[in-house]
Amino acid sequence: MKARIHVTLKNGVLDPQGKAIEHTLGSLGFDGVNEARQGKFIELDIAETDEAKARETVTAMCEKLLANTVIENYSIDLEQ
Amino acid sequence: MKAAVIVFPGSNCDRDIQVALRQSMGSEPQMVWHKDADFDDVDLICLPGGFSYGDYLRCGAMSAKSPVMKEVVARANKGVPVLGICNGFQILTECGLVPGALMRNSNLKFVCRDLHLKVERNDTVFTKQYQAGQNIRIPVAHHDGNYFVDSEGLKALEDNGQVAFRYSAKDGSVSEASNPNGSLNNIAGVYNTKGNVLGMMPHPERLCEDVLGGTDGRPMFDSLVAALS
C-alpha cells in the first residue's frame, strides 16, 4: 500500500520560507498570492493491506519521526 | 568528574567540547559513538554541535532516535546533567528533553558571528561562575536557531525561570535589534523544568582560551567541574 504524507507547519507558526516564496512570486508578477506555506511530502510503500492498520502504523510513524508535532501537522493519504 | 561527549555522524564540534572539557577538568572526557548505548556512568553528558545525519528531515530528528539517545534521556530523567549545544540543542528538543523547537532563522540566513548573551540565572550547575544578568560574548553558527514554543509553553518557560540565556546587545540590552534569528523573547538557551538539562544555540566551547579570542565560554565548563567534582 502506498502512503502519502503531507507535513505542514501549524497555523500560527511563522514560516519564513513560505514568506520568501510569496515575496518572490509577487516579484515575478504573480499578484494576489497570500499565505504561502512550505511543507514536506513523504511517500512510503508499506507492506500492509488493511487500511485501518496501515493508517494506525503511519500515524505512529508521523508522531515518532516524520513530523515534529510541536510545530507541524500531518495528513495521511493511503492508496491500495 | 567524568564527562561523556556523544559523537553522531556529522557532529563537528565534538572535538571543541573535548578540548574545553579537558582544560577545565584536567582529565579526558569520554568520546561516545552514537551506537554505543552502554557507556560508563558519567557526571555530565554533552551533545555537540554539527550537522548530524546531514540535518535530514529536520535538524536533530534522526539523532534523537539513535540508540544512545534512549540512554541519554533515561539518565537525564534520573538527574544527570546534559548540555546540548547548537545541533545538540536541536536534538534535545527533538527528543523532548527540553520544550520547543528550532526553526529556520527568520531572515533565512546562516548566522555565523560572535554576539552577546544575557545570563538569566547563576544558580544552576551550568552557570554558577557567571553573574545573574551578566552580559557575555559567545559565537553562534547556525541556520536553524529560531526558537519557537506555543504561547502556553512560553509562559511556562518564563514563569518557571527556564530561560537560560537571551540574545542581547553589547550594552546588555535585550531587544528585537539584538535578536539574530527570530527566537521568541530572544531566547538563546533553555533548561528543562528540573534545571539539569540545558540546550543552547551559541557555542561557549569555542571561546574558552585567550588564543581563540576570548574566554567568556570557559566559566560554563568551570561551573560544571566545580559542581560535579
Of all residues in chain B, what percent carry a pLDDT higher than 70?
Answer: 100
* Count of the separate structural domains present in chain A: 1
Mind listing the pLDDT tens digit for each residue in B143-186?
999 999 999 999 999 999 999 999 999 999 999 999 999 999 99
Give me the CATH number covering residue B200.
3.40.50.880
| List of chain A residues with pLDDT < 50 | none
CB–CB contacts below 8 A, A to B: 38
Give me the CATH number covering residue A34.
3.30.1280.10
Mind listing the pLDDT tens digit for each residue in B49-89?
999 999 999 999 999 999 999 999 999 999 999 999 999 99
| Residue range B25-29: mean pLDDT, rounded | 97
CB–CB contact B58 A66 (8 Å): no
| Residue range B195-203: mean pLDDT, rounded | 98
- Closest to B20 in 3D by CA, of B222, B226, B228, B229: B222
Q: How far is residue B7 CA from its own chain's centroid?
A: 15
Domain housing A43: 2-79
A71 to chain B, any CB pair closer than 8 A? The answer is yes
The helix (run of H) or strand (run of E) holding residue A49 is none
Domain housing B77: 3-228
Residues B139 and B49 sit within 8 Å (Cβ to Cβ): no
| Residue range B32-43: mean pLDDT, rounded | 95
* Count of the separate structural domains present in chain B: 1
From B28's Cα to the closest Cα of chain A, the distance in A is 34
The pLDDT assigned to A14 comes to 86
- Closest to B158 in 3D by CA, of B201, B127, B190: B190
pLDDT at B132 over 90: yes
The pLDDT assigned to A12 comes to 85
For residue B217, what pLDDT band results from cuts at 50, 70 and 90? very high
From B61's Cα to the closest Cα of chain A, the distance in A is 7
A33 to chain B, any CB pair closer than 8 A? The answer is no
